[in-house]
Amino acid sequence: QVQLVESGGGLVQPGGSLRLSCAASGIRFSIARMGWYRQAPGKERELVARITSGTSDYADSVKGRFTISRDNAKNTVYLQMNSLKPEDTAVYYCRLQVVLSVYWGQGTQVTVSS
């Protein structure tokens, strides 16, 4: 059974930083395409960043501020978020895809507010 467990969310002031983690189990993590998505109240879920074995890409709104990375030895994907803005406030979800199978984490709340 595939499980994704996110952690690292919280309340941070504008300009601050957070690092999200997503630990996967029950699947061959090294071949999985991993991504972070977010959903703000009243909005659709949107892609933030994704990473395969060798490449990563980002939403325009987070380029230069967020960095996605993975540690295959720990079956974990990370999202380093710097220079956070109030508009980054959302529930952040980890997504794992292997071939046509897609799995989601439970989400972690990130709130950027003074």
What would the pLDDT profile of 29-42 be if each residue is shown by its tens digit? 988 999 999 999 99
Q: Which residues pair with 34 in a beta bridge?
A: 51, 96
What would the pLDDT profile of 45-94 be if each residue is shown by its tens digit? 999 999 998 799 999 999 999 999 999 999 999 999 999 999 999 999 99
Mean pLDDT score, 4-14: 97
What is the end-to-end Cα distance of the chain in Å, rounded? 40
Q: Is 72 helix (H, G, I), strand (E, B) or coil?
A: coil
What pLDDT shows up at residue 59? 98
**Distance in angstroms (rounded) separating the CA atoms of residues 8 and 100:** 28
Angle formed at CA 99 by CA 95 and CA 105, multiple of 5 degrees: 15
Mean pLDDT score, 83-107: 96
**Distance in angstroms (rounded) separating the CA atoms of residues 101 and 60:** 26
- Of 108, 110, 84, whose CA–CA distance to 94 is shortest? 108
